[in-house]
Every structure is written in structure tokens, then in C-alpha cells.
Amino acid sequence: MAETLAQKLENSNLGHWMQRFESFMVFIGIVGPFATLPQLIKLYFTHSDHASGQSLVSWSLFATLSFLWFTYGLVVGKLPIYVGNGLSMVMNLLMVVGILIHAGMTY
């Protein structure tokens, strides 16, 4: 049977190196979504009157895509994928809710 690309990667030196740093990648998956925090602070606390300048469609798509990646991470059992995307999904949904609260249905 032919070896898949994922199997080739796991058996390579790069794959062994990446497996050793999985906990670091979980850390990255946790820290990355918090890049949305400045947007959330502006939306909820400092500049809520500018909520109509945010794209409801974009943030909704980000939330949907994060949900799909979160689900995929659960299915394949890859902690960095589902942790990072689960947090991203929550942050993106908070943006969607904030836009709906402060600006209503916008584009």
C-alpha cells in the first residue's frame, strides 16, 4: 500500500521534530486567537459606536471556518488544531454578537 503524505511526514526528520514540539504548538493555538482581543475591547468598551464599520459577514465566516477546523481537529485528534480553532471560534462569535448588539444586521 502506498504511504500517504502524512505518513511520510511523520516518518521524516521534520515529522519527528514537529512531534517533539506539539506542546509548543498547543501554546501557539492558545495565544493566537487572543490577537482578536483588541478588536473585542474596542467593540464592547471603547468604540462601540464604530461597530457598523465591522463586517458582520466576514466575522461570521471566520466563526464558521473556525468551527469547521475545530470539528476537524476533534475528528483527527490533533490537540493544537482543536484548541486553537475552538478559541478562535469563541472570539469570532463574540465579535459577531458585539456587531449585532451595537450595529444590528450589517454587511
pLDDT classification of 1: cutoffs 50, 70, 90: low
Class of domain 55-107 as given by CATH: mainly alpha
Q: What is the pTM of this model?
A: 0.80
Residue of 22, 31, 27 whose CA lies nearest to 88: 31
CA distance 87 to 32: 9
Residue of 42, 23, 46, 30 whose CA lies nearest to 90: 30
Other CB atoms closer than 10 Å to residue 50's CB: what's the count? 12
CA distance 104 to 59: 14
pLDDT tens digits for 40-99?
999 999 998 889 899 999 999 999 999 999 999 999 998 889 999 999 999 999 999 999
Structure confidence at residue 23 (pLDDT): 81
Main-chain phi, psi angles of 60, to 5 degrees: -65, -40
pLDDT tens digits for 15-37?
777 777 778 888 888 899 999 99
Which residue ranges make up each domain of the chain? Answer: 55-107
Residue type, 28: I
CA distance 101 to 82: 28
